[in-house]
Amino acid sequence: MKKQESNGANSDFESNSNGNVNFKTASTDQSLLTILDDIKSSRSPAVINYGASWYDLVLFFWCGVCSQIFPAYEELSNNFKGMKFVYADIDECPETTRHIRYTPTFQFYRNGEKVDEMFGTGEERLRDRLWLHS
């Protein structure tokens, strides 16, 4: 993953390594609040993946289930271009994610409202939910 720096983008937002513009990572509570405000004021569908990881030049997960689903989540972001994909680390955004009890948790938004939530992993389950809410 690399930090976005072009066009005055907030340095707290990161895009994935292949430059996918519909995939963002919230690296602070403030960046997650900004993303949530954007989602709530948008008509575009969105999904937030709440997981547990740490950064040390590359992304590592201390949550084993999170590490299993993240590559599929990132790849699926390439297949659902009209949908916003967000990754929020519960350790990097502790105030805004204190309501999250399981990792990974996926929250789906449509027309600015949370419409669904999925706990755990399963690439096929995730793909089906993305198709349903896209």
Whether 128 contacts 122, CB under 8 Å:
no
Give the active site residues.
63, 66
Whether 99 contacts 50, CB under 8 Å:
no
**For the chain, where are the E strands, in sequence order?**
2-3, 13-15, 23-26, 46-51, 53-56, 58-61, 84-89, 105-110, 113-119
Instruction: Using the Cα atoms of residue 21, residue 23, residue 56 and residue 90 in order, give the sign of their dihedral.
Output: positive
pLDDT digits (tens, 9 = 90+) for 71-130: 999 999 999 999 999 999 999 999 999 999 999 999 999 999 999 999 999 999 999 999
pLDDT digits (tens, 9 = 90+) for 6-49: 333 333 445 554 567 899 999 999 999 999 999 999 999 999 99
User: 94 in helix, strand or coil?
Assistant: coil
Cross-strand bridge partners of residue 117: 107
